[in-house]
Structure 1
Amino acid sequence: MAAFAASSAYAVQPDEIMSDPAKESRARDLSRELRCMVCQNQSIDDSDAPLARDLRLLVRERIAAGDSDAQVIDFLVARYGEFVLLKPRLEPHTLLLWLLPPLALVGGGIALWVHGRRRSRLAAAKDQSTFKLTAEEEARLERLIAAEPSPDKPG
């Protein structure tokens, strides 16, 4: 039980918590979407960095002023850029960021498919060339078979 309680403890300090539980819930939800500029792969909700604390307080200040969630996010993006968002928005200038992973996955799949087909064709060609006898080899084989005594004839 103590481990569960410790895992849900975030970097939010008691003096940051808003008195209205609904507004505090909004602030926590927004804090989970925003990147700590110091830690970079941590939300400001999880970070103990002083800048993360400042951003948490700024989020709560904007909520207390009556801003909607979108207005708070827009304000922070205008101030710090798209990098402040842990999950970037899907916009024309972030399209490559969103499309590159699926395109790389599809491209890798196509490359594996082409490589597999090429290998199977080469293996088939190698098998055919290995078992194909020349006319001279076939004639020699016929002579050997004809010269060999038959198992049903004693000889």
Structure 2
Amino acid sequence: MTRILIVCLGNICRSPTAEAVLRAKLAAAGIDARVDSAGTGSWHVGDPPHADMQRAAERSGYAMGDLRARQVTPDDFERFDLILAADPTNMRDLEAIRPDGNATPVRLLAPYAGTDQDTVPDPYYTGGFDTTLELIEKAADGLIAQLQ
């Protein structure tokens, strides 16, 4: 079983969306995987995903109302086989808490979409909830193609 963690800033927009999308697409592809999400910041711990992000996801068939934000911990580097960051800042923050000697791959999520961008735009600031969802769906498809 592959264990994947997706990380963004607050764990209320990008990473829980990627969690819901990846879970659905991996299951449809018949790939045995465990997917979770977390944020580098603690501001929203315990909160559900952003309401506008939930609505965008639900319009495309992804339920995420049961998800709750949590903060990434150094233990996550041992619990997961792959950690995907929503942007370079989150990737840098992940590397800052990586335990010494740990080799868990930390990669950017956006390049799996087959584009040259390194960032999944944060709709908390941009308002582009549907655009963010579309990029995450493409990235999920790209990741799954590599896992098969």
User: Which TM-score band (shorter chain)?
Assistant: under 0.3
Question: Relative contact order: is structure 1 or structure 2 higher (C-alpha 8 Å, sep ≥ 6)?
Answer: 2
Larger Rg: 1
Which structure shows the higher strand fraction?
Answer: 2
TM-score (norm 1): 0.27
